[in-house]
């Protein structure tokens, strides 16, 4: 879905996020995009997504990034394209709900027992807390918190559940969105996983990423560091 979001209609974007998990929008400028973000919810952070020489962070390295979410604090993540990669730069998006539907209750229960660390700007360099891979009882309340590189030591049952979940995700066909300048994408960060392919070392791709909180309760089953 691709819409133009003038002032005052951010509630339309929120409704679409709740219904399908993602919405595209075009803006006249970065300032207009940020204004719309403030209508959607509270801005937790604004960051540059661009390559940085020597960086080992996923967001600023040219290597591929596996499917993940951005931690439990932000229930919505938005990106605004300032400059796109000349060759690629696609964002890969995957709705996790179909994968979760295919899992049995025992597997979902094990996912709820795996706590992974999450990071934000409140405690630079160390985890801000821990949160289960899956929270919520029933499809309407499912909330994903997944970053495979942050998985802790696990029991055999937990490892099997993660493997089954990964296999279910691998069966899905991701959406591929290549943002052009002044285009943006908003996603439900508790539902939609995102990834990116390899970039050239000299890629000029530059996005602004905004973490948003829209008011949904995000504190259950989050363990402070």
39-75 tens-digit pLDDT: 899 999 999 999 998 777 878 888 899 999 999 999 9
Residue 56 lies in a domain: yes
Q: Which domain holds residue 77?
A: 2-217
What is the reported pLDDT for 20? 83
pLDDT above 90 covers what percent of the chain?
68
The total of structural domains in the chain comes to 1
Residue 7 lies in a domain: yes
User: What is the pLDDT averaged over residues 127-141?
Assistant: 91
**Matching residue, tokens 């403030």:** 38
Contact 117, 225 (CB under 8 A): yes
User: What is the pLDDT averaged over residues 119-145?
Assistant: 87
Question: Domain with 84 in it: what CATH number?
Answer: 3.60.130.10
Statement: residue 133 has pLDDT above 70: yes
Residue 207 lies in a domain: yes
Residue 225 lies in a domain: no
User: What is the pLDDT averaged over residues 123-145?
Assistant: 89
Statement: residue 38 has pLDDT above 60: yes
**Which residues, in sequence order, are bridge partners of residue 192?**
95
Residue 204 lies in a domain: yes
Q: Whole-prediction pTM value?
A: 0.89
What is the reported pLDDT for 4? 46
Characterize the bridge pairing of strands 22-26 and 2-4. parallel
Sorted by sequence, the CB contacts under 8 Å of residue 41 that are 6+ apart come out as 75, 76, 212, 213, 214, 215
């Amino acid at each position: 879905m691709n819409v133009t979001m003038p002032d005052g209609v951010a509630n339309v974007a929120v409704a679409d996020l709740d219904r399908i998990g993602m919405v595209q929008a075009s803006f006249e400028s970065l300032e207009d995009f940020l204004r719309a973000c403030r209508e959607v919810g509270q801005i937790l952070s604004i960051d540059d997504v661009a390559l940085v020489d020597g960086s080992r962070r996923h967001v600023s390295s040219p290597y591929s990034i596996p499917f993940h979410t951005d931690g439990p604090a932000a229930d919505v993540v938005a990106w605004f394209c300032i400059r796109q990669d000349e060759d690629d730069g696609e964002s890969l998006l995957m709705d996790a709900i179909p994968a979760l539907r295919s899992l049995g209750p025992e597997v979902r229960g094990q996912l709820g027992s795996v706590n992974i660390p999450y990071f934000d700007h409140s405690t630079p360099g160390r985890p801000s807390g821990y949160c289960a891979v899956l929270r919520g009882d029933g499809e309407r309340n499912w909330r994903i918190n997944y970053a495979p590189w942050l998985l802790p030591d696990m029991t055999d049952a937990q490892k099997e559940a993660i493997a089954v979940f990964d296999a279910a995700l691998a069966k899905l066909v991701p959406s591929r969105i290549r943002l052009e300048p002044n285009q943006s994408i908003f996603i439900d960060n508790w539902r939609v996983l995102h990834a990116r392919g390899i970039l050239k070392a000299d890629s000029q791709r530059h996005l602004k990423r905004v973490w948003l909180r829209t008011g949904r309760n995000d504190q259950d089953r989050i363990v402070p560091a």
